[in-house]
Amino acid sequence: MNRRIFLRNTGICTSALLFTGQMAPRLARAATEDFNFLGADFVKPIDTKLKIKPICAQRVHKSAYHGPCRYAPLDRLTPEAERQSNVKQCEDLMENLRNMNNPNAEILEPVLVEYPEGDQIEPEFFQSLEKDLHDIDLFVITYRVPGLEENKKPVAMVGRGVVNVDIAAYYRDRGLEGYAPYLWDDFSELIDVLKTRKAISETKVLVLTNRLDKPSYGGYSFITDLEHLQDKYGVTVQSVSLEEFFKEMDRIEADKEMNSTIQAKVNQFVRDAEAIHMDQKTIASDIRFNLAVTSMLKKYHANAFSVRCFEICATKIPWKKKCVPCSTLSMLKDQGIPATCEGDLNALLAMAVEMYLSNKSIYMGNPLVEENNILSIHHDVPGLKMKGLDQPDLPYEIVNFTDSGFGATIRYDFARDKGEPVTLGRFDRSGDRMLLVKGVIEGAFGIRDYGCSQGIYIKMDDIMDYYEKSKEFGHHLSMVYGDYTKQIKRLGEVMKFEVLT
């Protein structure tokens, strides 16, 4: 058997054996809390809310009478009864919105409006909406609101058909967003989808590179049309030079007070690990890398990050400073910050989609087709919050990235989750199509080997169908725990990108 394959399959490597330390008891304290250098005031797209304005509308007739569209008892057809019906419908609407308890929604104050037989609403009503219109993401209505379409805002009415689908069809024919969710679970999912779109539009990516105007060394299939990303999705991309970034690392290293704090973080990082397989003395440099990234994110008002690994490697600066980006990328994702290896914006956009929809940390890596419909993914950037940003940290070990013994990486044994469903995605080079595949976890490999060896085996239904489609998308897949196929397809319809499954 090939020695490299043997090491991968057994999870043993010589560098790990050289630096293997004591097994440490798992502490109640969450490691991710200790490495949140961004601060409570840092604004993250994942925390954005969909602001929903309820409008309760009712046609109020001038008197009670019967006719082709009015057949109830006359005491229910008086203007007073119809006004009271509007109030009751509004109360029911607000109760349903509250009971939905969707954390992605911010419910604004409801308004009541009535109009006579002529279906003309007084201009004063729309004028009253104008002052807050910029703060409204979605109107939810109880009935037709003639003239509301002029605001060109998305509108939804919950129901099983008739009026809500009629309104949706009218809006869509006019090139506007009209939604007719089927009852409240469907409406809650719509909120998640629209919130994700809003969060993506607020995503500002910072790339560590000297050559943002040129393709990355890491992959020819990576997105390079940054103007299209901004025009289509609102995603902005900017760079920070290697010189500026590593100068910031030097400043942090020279700060004696900061270094005492860093050492405390290192100690906590090590104590929270189930095991450590490297020389702890070099971990401080990885934490300084993390702090420098945080500093640059704040300086450039960015909230997502990618590093062109091949480019910084070629400078030999990581070799001199004894650091790699891996643990920083893991820690950022555990805080709800999309972060990818190798400057890969395709994987980052897919990661943002999955992260904002699921509220989970996302794993990414190189996909390889194995036998028996098995797909393997390998990269050293698992998160501790892959089961949910609001869930306890997953157990982890710390392993050196290089055979020299430096470069702290977080390792998680995916075999603990055998049988769990996962969804994997990637955008193509145009940014207009997303490849989406799903499977179940079959096992893990390379947990304690050096390099980009940490990996997961995923059982799929038709591995070659995926492989043929991957030729149009390139490498790297972003993986989220759970089946999010339905939600991502719905998001694709809303955001106008094609989803291939």
Residue 19 has pLDDT above 70, yes or no: no
Q: How far apart are CA 496 and CA 375, in angstroms?
A: 29
Smallest CA-to-CA distance from 16 within 275, 279, 277, 274 is with 277
How many residues belong to the chain? 501
pLDDT classification of 39: cutoffs 50, 70, 90: confident
Comparing 126 with 30, the larger pLDDT belongs to: 126
Joined tokens for residue 124: 């004063």
Cβ contact 133:152 at 8 Å:
no
What is the mean pLDDT of the segment spanning 9-23?
A: 35
Residue 222 has pLDDT above 70, yes or no: yes
pLDDT value of position 33: 63
In this prediction the pTM is 0.92
pLDDT value of position 30: 54
Cβ contact 38:296 at 8 Å:
no
What structural domains does the chain harbor?
3-46+202-500 (no CATH), 49-197 (3.40.50)
pLDDT value of position 13: 35
pLDDT value of position 32: 61
Joined tokens for residue 261: 């704090």
List, for residues 308-342, the tens digit of each pLDDT value: 999 999 999 999 999 999 999 999 999 999 999 99
Return the residue matching tokens 């062109």: 308
Smallest CA-to-CA distance from 219 within 84, 366, 335 is with 366
What are the backbone dihedrals phi and psi of residue 280, each rounded to the nearest 5 degrees, phi first? -65, -20
pLDDT classification of 157: cutoffs 50, 70, 90: very high
Strand duo 111-115 + 105-107: pairing: unpaired
- Which amino acid, one-letter code, is at 408? A
Joined tokens for residue 428: 């193509």
DSSP string, 105-171: EEEPPPEEEEE-TT----HHHHHHHHTTGGG-SEEEESS--TTGGGG---EE--SSSTHHHHHHHHH
Averaged confidence pLDDT in the chain: 92
pLDDT value of position 2: 35
Comparing 26 with 52, the larger pLDDT belongs to: 52
Distances (CA, A) of 276 to 104, 286, 422, 445: 38, 15, 28, 17
The burial of 158, by beta-carbon neighbours within 10 Å (0-12 exposed, 13-18 middle, 19 or more buried), is given as: buried
pLDDT value of position 18: 34
Residues 6 or more apart in contact with residue 69 via CB below 8 angstroms: none
pLDDT value of position 12: 33
Buried b (16+ CB within 10 A) or exposed e, 186-210: ebbbbbbbbbbbbbbbbbbbbbbbb
Cβ contact 485:434 at 8 Å:
no
What is the mean pLDDT of the segment spanning 292-314?
A: 97
* DSSP tag of 215: -
Residue 1 has pLDDT above 50, yes or no: no
pLDDT cut 70: percent of the chain above it? 93
Element (H, E) at 479: strand 477-481
Report how far apart the first and last C-alpha atoms of the chain are (Å, whole number). 36
pLDDT value of position 21: 38
List, for residues 253-289, the tens digit of each pLDDT value: 999 999 999 999 999 999 999 999 999 999 999 999 9
Comparing 5 with 124, the larger pLDDT belongs to: 124
pLDDT value of position 31: 58
pLDDT value of position 427: 98
Residue 245 has pLDDT above 60, yes or no: yes
Handedness of CA 76, 147, 234, 228 (dihedral sign): positive
pLDDT classification of 218: cutoffs 50, 70, 90: confident
List, for residues 447-491, the tens digit of each pLDDT value: 999 999 999 999 999 999 999 999 999 999 999 999 999 999 999
pLDDT cut 90: percent of the chain above it? 88
Return the residue matching tokens 């797209």: 45
What is the mean pLDDT of the segment spanning 203-225?
A: 93
- Which amino acid, one-letter code, is at 198? K
Handedness of CA 159, 160, 164, 165 (dihedral sign): positive
Distances (CA, A) of 47 to 40, 105, 198, 463, 484: 12, 11, 11, 36, 19
What is the mean pLDDT of the segment spanning 14-29?
A: 37
